[in-house]
């Protein structure tokens, strides 16, 4: 009888340990997700919102820099693109998503002499 009780308690102990391991696995997975969210996903979405806000605030006459490194001045603002003057009588059409620098960043460019 004593042997049966010991065997049953050992079996219950093994199941309890296995259930505890599963519980800690899920806690660790949730913890990893929370860390990824707060250190990677959330800051990236915050940067994207700030960049979108900057693009919406750009207006005619602002100096900008494109993703390709082209410096220019906004000549016209359309719904999905800018017309940018890069030199005398040279105007290019650039998608709004490829303009990364605001007017303050573009004004820090070195002046050609």
Find the mean pLDDT for residues 86-90.
Answer: 91
- Identify the residue whose tokens are 């505890």: 20
Q: How confident is the model at residue 5 (pLDDT cuts 50, 70, 90)?
A: very low
Q: pLDDT tens digits, residue range 29-54?
A: 999 999 999 899 999 999 989 888 88
Architecture (CATH level 2) of domain 58-106: Roll (2.30)
pLDDT score of 69 more than 90? no
* Beta bridge mates, 77: 82
Position 22 scores a pLDDT of 84
Residue ranges per domain, the chain?
1-57, 58-106
Please give the angle made by the CA atoms of 40, 37 and 100, to the nearest 5 degrees: 40
pLDDT score of 10 more than 50? yes
- Gap between the Cα atoms of 67 and 97, Å rounded: 9
pLDDT score of 18 more than 70? no
pLDDT score of 9 more than 80? no
Other CB atoms within 10 A of residue 99 CB: 24
Q: Which of 103, 100, 109, 65 is nearest to 84 (CA)?
A: 65
- Gap between the Cα atoms of 91 and 109, Å rounded: 20
Q: Is the pTM of this model over 0.85?
A: no
pLDDT score of 20 more than 80? no
pLDDT score of 101 more than 80? no
């Amino acid at each position: 009888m004593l042997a049966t009780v010991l065997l049953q308690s050992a079996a219950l102990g093994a199941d309890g340990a296995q259930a505890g391991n599963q519980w800690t696995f899920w806690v660790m997975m949730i913890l990893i997700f929370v860390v990824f969210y707060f250190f990677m996903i959330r800051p990236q979405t915050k940067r994207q919102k700030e960049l979108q806000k900057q693009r919406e605030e750009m207006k005619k006459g602002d100096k900008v820099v494109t993703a390709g490194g082209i410096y220019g001045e906004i000549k016209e603002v359309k719904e999905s693109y800018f017309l940018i003057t890069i030199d005398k009588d040279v105007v290019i059409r650039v998608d709004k998503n490829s303009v990364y620098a605001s007017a303050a960043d573009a004004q820090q460019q070195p002046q050609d002499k």
